[in-house]
Amino acid sequence: MRVLGVDPGLTRCGLGVVDGLPGRGLRMVAAGVARSEAGLDHDQRLLVIADQIETWLERHAPDAVAVEQVFAQQNVRTVTGTAQVAGVAMLAAARRRIPVAVHTPSEVKAAVTGSGRAGKAQVQTMVARLLGLPSRPTPADAADALALAICHLWRPAGALGAPQRAPGSLTAAQQAWAAAEQAARRRPARRPA
Amino acid sequence: MRVLGVDPGLTRCGLGVVDGLPGRGLRMVAAGVARSEAGLDHDQRLLVIADQIETWLERHAPDAVAVEQVFAQQNVRTVTGTAQVAGVAMLAAARRRIPVAVHTPSEVKAAVTGSGRAGKAQVQTMVARLLGLPSRPTPADAADALALAICHLWRPAGALGAPQRAPGSLTAAQQAWAAAEQAARRRPARRPA
């Protein structure tokens, strides 16, 4: 199974393609960043990013697209553009009938490090280790996109869209993932003051 | 000149098409709402809304698309979906090389009522009056989309993308619009606590 991870952003949108199966070995297919110039009009920036995402979908033909959840509480200056790029990526996948999943940052961290509170560097180190890369993938947005793809491939049995597996056969990483997912669902939505 | 106004929303996205010229008479061409079922997956909802916006662009061939500005401080439960629909609308216009403008709610209210602090009912009453309709357009999202289109048609000379006019020839509504726009630009971005 091949997954395209999308770490949405208007200036830099991380993209990472990983082949794998739940609990099995992983292989990096591609990693990179879609960019748009800050000087362009907003609609043109969305178009530039959308075109690059379309190119990745064409070239790599993923079986699923995993997008990072955007929370309204994130950086208020950029959250609208970030959400729009996430939407544009979901739309591009939906138009091609490719299933879309959304994962929270906590789920992604838990999937690759075993802890939903891991730092960025720890996530990047584990992405390199899991994919057998000689060093941390750069830029960071590409590494985050690869982590998203891994998170989706390793999501526990019973998660939305996950292949069926025998119960009780979760790896440690999958158990951490499930715990982080549960925690994220229990957490009440915070509201700005 | 023909403008499609888009009041973005994932459950109901207001759409309104108005013909007119700055400071001249207006004519309503169409008004309605694009909807998506709350039970669908998020990417499918974006696709359903995007397809309806595409249909409106095809059918009415507007010269410009005016989208309401989405602020991160809005309803935290729905702001991500709202921003994504705004992004999808901008992308659809950009793909057709139709110019896109974004207007704040204050600008829209000022354009049709003379006050950037007008209530919803007042805006709807004025939309009906300006377009010569027998009653307020319903649903409210369609009325808001018509107000956006009017706002764009009546934007003052010198505003981004506005046709050139002799200085000092602003109508009262256009002066209120300019004042609201200035106020919106001066206002510092609020941050969530």
Give the model confidence (pLDDT) of A168-177 as tens digits. Answer: 445 555 566 5
B 64-83 → A contacts, CB under 8 A = 70-73, 76-77, 79-80, 83
Burial A109-123 (b: 16+ CB within 10 A, else e): bbbbbbebebeeeeb
Helical (H) or strand (E) element with B102: strand B100-103
Closest approach of A6 to chain B, Cα-based (Å) = 14
* Interface contact A124, partner B, CB < 8 A: no
* pLDDT beyond 90 at B153: yes
* pLDDT beyond 80 at B177: no
Instruction: Kindly list the residues from chain A whose CB atom is less than 8 angstroms away from the CB atom of residue B41.
Output: 100
Task: Say yes or no for a CB contact (<8 Å) between B76 and A73.
Answer: yes
Q: Please tell me the distance from the alpha carbon of residue B152 to that of residue B68, in angstroms, as a whole number.
A: 11
Instruction: Kindly list the residues from chain B whose CB atom is less than 8 angstroms away from the CB atom of residue A73.
Output: 76, 192
* Interface contact A189, partner B, CB < 8 A: yes
Instruction: Kindly list the residues from chain B whose CB atom is less than 8 angstroms away from the CB atom of residue A49.
Output: none
Percent of chain B with pLDDT strictly greater than 70: 79
* pLDDT beyond 80 at B55: yes
Confidence of residue A21 (pLDDT cuts 50, 70, 90): confident
pLDDT, chain A, mean: 85
Task: Say yes or no for a CB contact (<8 Å) between B84 and A79.
Answer: no
Closest approach of A84 to chain B, Cα-based (Å) = 4
Q: Please tell me the distance from the alpha carbon of residue A131 to that of residue B163, in angstroms, as a whole number.
A: 55
CA distances from B101 to A103, A191, B29, B58, B76 (A): 32, 29, 19, 19, 24
Task: Say yes or no for a CB contact (<8 Å) between A41 and B80.
Answer: no
B43 is catalytic: no
Q: Which residue has the tokens 């629909």?
A: B85
* pLDDT beyond 90 at A103: yes
pLDDT, chain B, mean: 85
The answer to ipTM > 0.90 is no
Task: Say yes or no for a CB contact (<8 Å) between A73 and B71.
Answer: no
Confidence of residue A191 (pLDDT cuts 50, 70, 90): very low
Percent of chain A with pLDDT strictly greater than 70: 79
Confidence of residue A25 (pLDDT cuts 50, 70, 90): confident
* pLDDT beyond 80 at B117: yes
B7 is catalytic: yes
> Of B89, B92, B71, which is closest to residue B80 (Cα–Cα)?
B71
Task: Say yes or no for a CB contact (<8 Å) between A91 and B50.
Answer: yes
Q: Is A69 helix (H, G, I), strand (E, B) or coil?
A: coil
Confidence of residue B141 (pLDDT cuts 50, 70, 90): very high
* Interface contact B87, partner A, CB < 8 A: yes
Angle at which helix A120-131 crosses helix A105-113, to 10 degrees, equals: 50
Q: Give all strands (DSSP E) within A36-187, no chain letters.
A: 64-68, 100-103
Mean pLDDT highest for which of B45-59, B66-80, B172-186?
B45-59
Confidence of residue A162 (pLDDT cuts 50, 70, 90): very low
Task: Say yes or no for a CB contact (<8 Å) between B44 and A94.
Answer: yes
Amino acid in position B97: R
